[in-house]
A and B are shown apart, each in its own frame.
Chain A
Amino acid sequence: MSNLLNISSSPHVRDKSSTRSIMWDVFLALMPAALFGVWNFGYQAAVLIVVCIAASVLAEYIWQKAMKLPLTVSDGSAALTGLLLALNLSAAFPIWMAVLGSVFAIIIVKQLFGGLGQNFMNPALGARCFLMVSFAGKMTSFTYDGVTGATPLALIKSGDDSTQLIDMFLGTIGGTIGETSTLALLIGAAYLLIRKVITWKIPVCYIVTFAVFALLFGGHGFDMTYLAKEICGGGLILGAFFMATDYVTSPITPKGQIAFGILLGVLTGVFRIFGASAEGVSYAIIISNLLVPLIEKATIPVPFGKEGIKDGK
């Protein structure tokens, strides 16, 4: 054997999963919610979803071409950002604003900070908050069955709890395209948990903390219907399973993930119950995103065998 063989450092075998397969898994997991959204809100929702995905992918492609960077649109992360943004918008949201939001998510939040893996804030939520402060009226106007009105969560906050819990669970209510159906979201979440794309830590800590907070400070005492409505309403389920679990912007340490979930629960509770708006998930997540480096620093695990041993090194 005279010709030289390939060499490299060990290990010499690799697991099958790849960045692309993970992104595809999350994309697939969002399909029940997206399809339900289209059924619930009509063709407008489908158009918005397609537009946001296309705009996000195109923005990434053009940016990387212009900057002479390696093209990474095929990893699916830009498409996923587009889908998540669309699910966070009302079906009647103007197309050009949605395009603007997609471009903001990809260029400002993601690429300017170094692209995939480097953004400190969830791009879709960053864009949602950008749109919220820029076009507050359009962002908070929800039309359902031809009637423009407040979301069930806003009604509850104003003291009107006429919305049926079952409607909130199934999703036959007003809201953004992807947030209304708790059932559809939970189906997707179950898929992610089974595929081990996400773990229970962040979503469960988030929802449980929020529930405890709402029980203590919600002003409805031990009212389980109120609590269930708070959990099913708004963006909590979508946020907890699909946005807060975003790898790039959540802690990588196991204890950090628990702390992150608790922080999210408290912040969401504060915003929803003491804030001016009925919603609070988006802001809670992006604020917590900013604290991730700190949380990680404080939660570096103790190495195997060194439990209880202090030697400095």
Chain B
Amino acid sequence: MSEATFRGGVHPYEGKELSSDLPIKTVMPKGDMIFPMSQHIGAPAKPIVSKGDKVLVGQKIGEASGFISANICCSVSGTVKAVEPRMLLNGSSAMCVVVENDGAYTGIEGLGEDRDYTKLSKDEIRDIVKEAGIVGMGGAGFPTNVKLAPKEPDKIDYILVNGAECEPYLTSDYRQMLECPEEIVGGLKVMLKLFDKATGLICIEDNKPAAIEKMKAAVANESRIEVRVLKTKYPQGGERTLISAATGRKIYSKKLPADEGCVVDNISTVIAIYRAVCKQTPLITRVMTLTGDAFKKPINVNVRLGCNHADLVPEGEGFGQEPAKIISGGPMMGFAMFDLNVPVTKTSSSILAMTKDEVAEFEPTPCIRCGRCVEACPGNLVPQKMAVAAMNNDYDTFVSLNGMECYECGSCTYVCPAKRPLTQSFKQARQYVAAQARKK
């Protein structure tokens, strides 16, 4: 049987061999730690410490301020130096708690101690996940406790652990599957406890045979967990494409995964759940891939949230060549950084430093209507027509061409032989349409 997949998509250069065989190295932070109160989708957290306060590892320093919001926990011990706006990696500024690290890493009471999840009630588990400030660590940053509390928990049939890692270059999920499969299985078992009828599916692309083998061995004795092998294709790890490939169910923009009986969380998020529930450790670290041809030695690192991106560069032995472009996240959906002096957040999956900026290299030329964008679009859209509408600010036409169904995955822009900035125009149009809809 051919492996599960979806229609459309692209095959960019994977670049994973740069870092896939390198074990995760734990890196201790240098200098002050900066904790933005907005590291997730939804309302920013409210700082609950003030200048001069002593804080501990694992201590809550930002309180979720709404239904869709998340707590922020401190990753070091020390003294609060300031509570003030600081710049984030996307160039905007947001309220941050700045902590002077005392280097002692004194933890809150019980930090890191074992806890038996089987003795916890479902609500207790959800509360722990919420308190721990866990959000989707694949990039979107959606608060995980909200995902774990659907209206009808009995209708959840599948919990999908997203190990597709379809973005080129990134290897953090892959390394974690190899190095801590038991934590992934442990986190998934905690989640399965919340949904009595659900089956756990660990979804992995077929370009990661070692991870598939490791995870299969780890779930050999788990009756409620299976490993699903998916075809390697971008964007296989997108929520909609993943659900469709693994379960045959389909959702679109107006449907949540839960509407089709699915909960999706990525590898890092599931590990965070395990650590919060079973190890009494809130979300204070994450694994990042430092890669790209500009790094002398690419590496996978486990870092404390709040550390400075620039301080991580020496871990890859610095830049051998001057990078032309540095991306936080994968090359398909990641964010180009203009300065490395910004803090690592819950969704920072990589520093991808490339010596060549393929975007700046080409001038966009006229569209020749080749239709490659239509073939590549996993959402069955017509990017060529959407782009004409978006670039003319014709938002009604953009919406009627199903522009609001766009995933912003970038597949169309990747294949475009005329090098047109399709995805960029969609992002702008979608933001505008969404803002107009909110005004009404």
Residue of B nearest to A250 (CB): B369
Give the chain A neighbours of B251 by CB distance below 8 A: 305
Q: Please indicate which of the listed interface residues A9, A12, A116, A248 has the most CB atoms of chain B within 10 Å of its own CB.
A: A12
The answer to whether B368 and A117 have CB atoms under 8 Å apart is yes
The one of B372, B385, B408, B410 that contacts A296, using a Cβ cutoff of 8 Å: B385
The answer to whether B250 and A304 have CB atoms under 8 Å apart is yes
CB of A307 within 8 Å of the partner chain:
yes
CB of A148 within 8 Å of the partner chain:
no
The one of B380, B399, B410, B417 that contacts A11, using a Cβ cutoff of 8 Å: B410
Which positions in A face B, CB cutoff 8 Å? 1, 4-15, 17-19, 21-22, 72, 75, 77, 115-118, 247-248, 250, 252-254, 257, 296, 300-307, 309, 311, 313
Cα distance, A307 to B402, chains bound together (Å): 13
The answer to whether B381 and A303 have CB atoms under 8 Å apart is yes
Which positions in B face A, CB cutoff 8 Å? 6-7, 10, 12-13, 168, 240, 244, 250-252, 254-255, 310, 313, 323-327, 331-341, 354, 357-360, 362, 365-372, 374-375, 378-382, 384-385, 399, 401-402, 404-405, 408, 410, 413-419, 421, 423-424, 427
Cα distance, A4 to B375, chains bound together (Å): 36
Give the chain B neighbours of A15 by CB distance below 8 A: 10, 12, 414-417
Known: A8-B359, A14-B358, A252-B382. A305 touches B250 (CB 8 A): yes
Shortest distance in angstroms between B5's beta carbon and chain A's nearest beta carbon? 13
Give the chain A neighbours of B382 by CB distance below 8 A: 252-253, 296, 300-301
Which 7 A-B residue pairs are closest in the complex by CB-CB distance? A11-B410, A305-B252, A9-B424, A7-B336, A305-B250, A117-B366, A303-B405
Give the chain A neighbours of B427 by CB distance below 8 A: 9
The answer to whether B415 and A11 have CB atoms under 8 Å apart is no
Known: A11-B410, A116-B366. A304 touches B334 (CB 8 A): no
The answer to whether B354 and A12 have CB atoms under 8 Å apart is yes
Give the chain A neighbours of B372 by CB distance below 8 A: 17
Residue of B nearest to A11 (CB): B410
Known: A117-B368, A253-B382, A301-B382. A306 touches B334 (CB 8 A): no
Residue of B nearest to A254 (CB): B374
The answer to whether B332 and A19 have CB atoms under 8 Å apart is no
Give the chain B neighbours of A301 by CB distance below 8 A: 374, 380-382
The answer to whether A247 and B371 have CB atoms under 8 Å apart is yes
Residue of A nearest to B405 (CB): A303
Give the chain A neighbours of B325 by CB distance below 8 A: 5-8, 12
Cα distance, A8 to B415, chains bound together (Å): 17
Residue of B nearest to A257 (CB): B371
Cα distance, A247 to B375, chains bound together (Å): 13
The one of A13, A72, A248 that contacts B331, using a Cβ cutoff of 8 Å: A13
Give the chain B neighbours of A296 by CB distance below 8 A: 382, 385
The answer to whether B417 and A22 have CB atoms under 8 Å apart is yes
Shortest distance in angstroms between A293's beta carbon and chain B's nearest beta carbon? 10
Residue of B nearest to A2 (CB): B339
The answer to whether B369 and A252 have CB atoms under 8 Å apart is yes
Residue of A nearest to B378 (CB): A304
Cα distance, A303 to B365, chains bound together (Å): 27
The answer to whether A253 and B374 have CB atoms under 8 Å apart is yes
The answer to whether A13 and B323 have CB atoms under 8 Å apart is no
Shortest distance in angstroms between B132's beta carbon and chain A's nearest beta carbon? 29
Residue of A nearest to B6 (CB): A304
Shortest distance in angstroms between B348's beta carbon and chain A's nearest beta carbon? 15
Shortest distance in angstroms between B134's beta carbon and chain A's nearest beta carbon? 25
Residue of A nearest to B366 (CB): A117
The answer to whether A304 and B252 have CB atoms under 8 Å apart is yes
The answer to whether B423 and A10 have CB atoms under 8 Å apart is yes
The answer to whether A75 and B365 have CB atoms under 8 Å apart is yes
The one of A7, A21, A118, A253 that contacts B366, using a Cβ cutoff of 8 Å: A118
Cα distance, A296 to B388, chains bound together (Å): 14
The one of A4, A12, A311, A313 that contacts B339, using a Cβ cutoff of 8 Å: A4
Question: 10 A-B pairs, CB-CB below 8 angstroms?
Answer: A1-B339, A1-B340, A6-B359, A6-B360, A7-B337, A8-B336, A9-B336, A12-B354, A19-B365, A253-B382
The one of A6, A10, A115, A117 that contacts B334, using a Cβ cutoff of 8 Å: A10
Known: A116-B366, A296-B385. A5 touches B379 (CB 8 A): no
Given contacts A14-B413, A301-B382, A304-B244, 12 further A-B contacts (CB under 8 A): A1-B340, A5-B326, A5-B337, A6-B359, A8-B360, A14-B359, A15-B415, A72-B365, A77-B368, A117-B418, A248-B368, A306-B405
Cα distance, A63 to B337, chains bound together (Å): 42
The answer to whether B399 and A248 have CB atoms under 8 Å apart is no
Shortest distance in angstroms between B207's beta carbon and chain A's nearest beta carbon? 17
Residue of B nearest to A14 (CB): B358
The answer to whether A18 and B335 have CB atoms under 8 Å apart is no
Cα distance, A300 to B424, chains bound together (Å): 22
The answer to whether A306 and B252 have CB atoms under 8 Å apart is yes
Give the chain B neighbours of A117 by CB distance below 8 A: 366-369, 418
The answer to whether A12 and B359 have CB atoms under 8 Å apart is yes
The one of B385, B402, B418, B421 that contacts A252, using a Cβ cutoff of 8 Å: B385
Known: A300-B382, A301-B380, A307-B250. A9 touches B423 (CB 8 A): yes
Cα distance, A303 to B341, chains bound together (Å): 41
Give the chain B neighbours of A313 by CB distance below 8 A: 399, 404
The answer to whether B336 and A12 have CB atoms under 8 Å apart is yes
The answer to whether A21 and B417 have CB atoms under 8 Å apart is yes
Cα distance, A248 to B366, chains bound together (Å): 11
Cα distance, A300 to B384, chains bound together (Å): 12
Give the chain A neighbours of B323 by CB distance below 8 A: 5
Cα distance, A37 to B60, chains bound together (Å): 79
Shortest distance in angstroms between B427's beta carbon and chain A's nearest beta carbon? 6
Cα distance, A115 to B313, chains bound together (Å): 47
The one of A14, A252, A311 that contacts B374, using a Cβ cutoff of 8 Å: A252
Give the chain A neighbours of B7 by CB distance below 8 A: 304
The one of A7, A18, A115, A252 that contacts B419, using a Cβ cutoff of 8 Å: A18
The answer to whether A248 and B250 have CB atoms under 8 Å apart is no
Give the chain A neighbours of B417 by CB distance below 8 A: 15, 17-19, 21-22
Give the chain B neighbours of A75 by CB distance below 8 A: 365
Give the chain A neighbours of B334 by CB distance below 8 A: 10, 12
The one of B12, B244, B340 that contacts A13, using a Cβ cutoff of 8 Å: B12
The answer to whether A304 and B380 have CB atoms under 8 Å apart is yes
Give the chain B neighbours of A302 by CB distance below 8 A: 380
Cα distance, A58 to B13, chains bound together (Å): 39
The answer to whether A11 and B404 have CB atoms under 8 Å apart is no
Give the chain A neighbours of B337 by CB distance below 8 A: 5, 7
The one of A10, A247, A303, A305 that contacts B370, using a Cβ cutoff of 8 Å: A247
The one of A13, A21, A247 that contacts B358, using a Cβ cutoff of 8 Å: A13
Shortest distance in angstroms between A122's beta carbon and chain B's nearest beta carbon? 12
Give the chain A neighbours of B244 by CB distance below 8 A: 304-305
Cα distance, A32 to B229, chains bound together (Å): 44
Cα distance, A167 to B368, chains bound together (Å): 37
